[in-house]
Chain A
Amino acid sequence: MAPSRFIAVFSLHAQRLFEAAEMLTPRVEVCPPDGVLLEIPARREQETLDRLTHLLDRDVRIGGASTRTAAILAARMAPGTLVPYHRESRFLAALPVTALKFCMEVEDALFETFAGWGIRTLGEVAALPRASLVARFGEKGAILQRLASGEDVGIRAGYQPEPEFKEEQELEWTLNVLEPLIFLLGGMLTRLCGRLKERGLAAESLCLEFRLDDGSSFRRELRPALPIQEAKILLSLLRLDLQTESPRSGVTGICIQARPAHPRIVQHSLLQPTAPHPEKLAQTLTRLKGILGGENVGSPRVLDTHRPDALHMEEMELASPKGRGKGQRKESDRPQLDRHHPHPEGGSRLALRRIRPPRPTRLCRETIVSCAGPWRTSGDWWTEGLETQAWARDEWDVELTDGVIYRVYWDHRKRQWYVEGMYD
């Protein structure tokens, strides 16, 4: 097995450092707060150093050695040093004792103790008898001596830094028309989706920020029904969204940030009923929302109250028939309907058609053919400060001379008759 070499790199631009390191080797460790440690084959050491200097700024501090400890201390104490193979202890011998604080947490009192003993370099610490060190400092003494000799202590876990999926672009001149803006967004989204795909991720939501020429900014947030990693689909969703609401003045800069999520994996079945294609559904919903408004398209949810017509709209989700995802109802919760045993007596349940909002009306005794009621309902009167939400009413079913059977109610608070809907 070829010997490994370690290269420690420290820079103030931590995010750029992580991205560059990931491009060179998958074996990346983090050295808090501002460094990374790369493990590479010995034969690729020079090539890696060349690429690192090419990718990063000049203000980085790089050091290489055959052990982690020596590489870190080389980068910290003597940037640009490549310690030859098996020469770690000789290199470290000249370094001051205080350099140990770059490898582990050491109290200043310990350095003062070393200073009191007349020990100033790591070479002198390495030369001390280990048994005496352990007798005075415990296990920490042994660890310090091993570090001073250039040995690695403990196992460092590989660290995968959280990548930021962000694309920014400053424009040379102001854009006032949508088409060239879409063209630019297309390029940015292609790059963004490429990075997402490399990591097997998809965009759960997109945050757009347009810097405008009047100094303000215009923000939009796009939330598809499911995570998408196709730039083309995201672009068409963005286009529909921007057609609905576009920036109020010229655009001078664009910033897109994607929130990553794992893409949805669905196993199709021949026996499964048809369902809308998730990506096509996302486009369809965006188009519908563009025409009708976001609050008018979705799946209704009935609220847990007796308040009439208490509901809210939710984003439609394509629940898988088999298996139950987070937030999905249990099989037993779903309305069970036996397809081969319809409603008894060969009929269906009576439906009410609502009139929204309920229409104020005046009832004449002459126009009423039949009536039934009242059914008294009320609620929320115990909630202080929410007077508008309280209701108290008497419901009646009335058949008028036009043959239509209405549900009307007398509002006790407003002292008024209202038509709530019709039975049909």
Chain B
Amino acid sequence: MSSAFSSLPLDPLHERNGAAEDAAAERRQALKSFRFHVSRYESAEFLPTGIEDLDRLLKGGIPRGKLIEITGDLSSGKTSLLLSVLAQATAGEEFIAYIDAFDALDPEGAADLGIDLKRLLWVRCGPSAGAGGADAAVNKALQAADILTQAGGFGLIALDLQAPPPQRGVRVPLHIWFRLQRAVKGSLTTMLVVARSRTVGSAASLVLALERQDRWWAHRSSRSANVRFRVDAPAVTGGMDPIAAPEKVAGNRFQGLQSRAHLLRGEVHGSIPVYCRF
């Protein structure tokens, strides 16, 4: 607040020197932009992403009642960003739906990321949901998205269309996206579509493209580097299998990714670095 007003010319002499009208106009403009800034941050029209820089860039977070698209290659951090947004939504006691076209969600990892699994409706459309290839899975996912948007009440509906390699992107007719866009328009539900390449087209109100810039590999520096060592404790001890006996193995460690999020479509444009770590 102080920074918003500190730049205002409040010197009365300055106003008497013939620049009074300009100063008043400037003050009004500053006040207006300040109010706008505050209302955008405090309103319920945005859902925070959990990444402070990105929220700042988006003027508060992801807008509600819109169709949002997140794209990028594999290992660029799209899923991490998506789960971060989902975690923020469940932290706000909202119910969320995850339409998983290729059955890729890791619930254990999602819980570690802070998602309240009791508030998550997981809709699995992958191979276990019936016969058919990638196209059948995507069709089912779109059908599920249509049903869920009509149901209402979900704070966030995530539609994950990232096909595993060697498959590339998916192609969906544009009219389907406009149908989904109209279904969520004016409601408090946000639909987040995650795909490897742009598919939503002009129906998306905001497009975030993630581009991987770097990744970190920590080489063996200490014997305690490996933190993911896990062994289930047997109920009855004795006769342990030598393969399964607890044994620390030294090695390298994959630490995380650094990506850059580009805002390709929306009210604002720009790009910021995004970090995804263990």
Contact = CB atoms under 8 A, between A and B. Distances in A.
A422 B188 CA distance: 32
Given A321-B93, A375-B229, A352 B129 contact: no
- Give 8 nearest A-B pairs by CB, closest first: A347-B275, A276-B153, A378-B244, A379-B232, A337-B91, A372-B252, A348-B84, A300-B107
A191 B186 CA distance: 39
Contact of B119 (A292, A319, A354, A412): A319
A339 B116 contact: no
Given A346-B52, A350-B278, A403-B212, A296 B88 contact: no
A346 B49 CA distance: 11
B175 interface: no
A292 B107 contact: no
A399 B214 CA distance: 12
Given A273-B94, A335-B111, A291 B153 contact: no
Interface string B20-36: 00000000000000000
Given A292-B125, A292-B129, A329-B118, A404 B249 contact: no
A395 B228 CA distance: 10
A388 to B, nearest CB: 15
Nearest to B83: A351
Contacts of B271: none
A302 B228 contact: no
Contacts, number: 291
Contacts of A339: 48, 50, 88, 91-92
A290 B105 CA distance: 21
A405 B251 CA distance: 17
B257 interface: yes
A347 B77 CA distance: 10
26 contacts: A273-B94, A276-B151, A280-B151, A284-B148, A288-B144, A292-B144, A296-B123, A297-B124, A321-B93, A335-B114, A337-B88, A342-B52, A343-B84, A346-B53, A346-B275, A348-B80, A349-B277, A350-B278, A352-B109, A370-B215, A375-B226, A375-B230, A378-B241, A395-B228, A399-B217, A403-B75
A316 B121 contact: yes
A382 B79 contact: no
A393 B129 CA distance: 28
Interface in B188-239: 188, 212, 215, 217-218, 226, 228-232, 234-236, 239
A355 B88 contact: no
A419 to B, nearest CB: 9
Nearest to B210: A424
Nearest to B148: A284
A136 interface: no
B63 interface: no
B86 to A, nearest CB: 10
B247 A376 contact: yes
Contacts of B125: 292, 296
A171 interface: no
Contacts of A276: 95, 151-154
B231 A354 contact: no
A354 B232 contact: no
Interface SS majority for chain A: mixed
Contacts of A382: 234-236, 239-241
Given A298-B122, A353-B162, A372-B252, A306 B84 contact: no
B134 interface: no
A392 B119 CA distance: 33
A423 interface: yes
Interface residues of A, number: 85
A274 B153 contact: yes
Nearest to B87: A337
Given A276-B151, A301-B117, A375-B228, A356 B103 contact: yes
Interface of B: 48, 50-53, 55, 73-84, 87-88, 90-95, 103-130, 140, 143-144, 147-148, 150-155, 162, 164-165, 188, 212, 215, 217-218, 226, 228-232, 234-236, 239-241, 243-244, 247, 249, 251-254, 256-257, 273-278
Contacts of A313: 122
Interface of A: 272-277, 280-281, 283-285, 287-288, 291-293, 295-302, 305-307, 309-311, 313, 316-319, 321, 328-329, 334-339, 342-343, 345-356, 370-382, 392, 394-395, 397, 399, 402-405, 412, 421-424
B128 to A, nearest CB: 6
B254 A397 contact: yes
A273 to B, nearest CB: 5
Contact of A381 (B77, B109, B241): B241
Contacts of A309: 106, 108
Given A335-B90, A346-B274, 15 more contacts: A275-B94, A288-B144, A292-B123, A296-B123, A297-B121, A313-B122, A328-B118, A346-B51, A349-B80, A352-B109, A375-B249, A392-B244, A405-B254, A422-B74, A424-B74
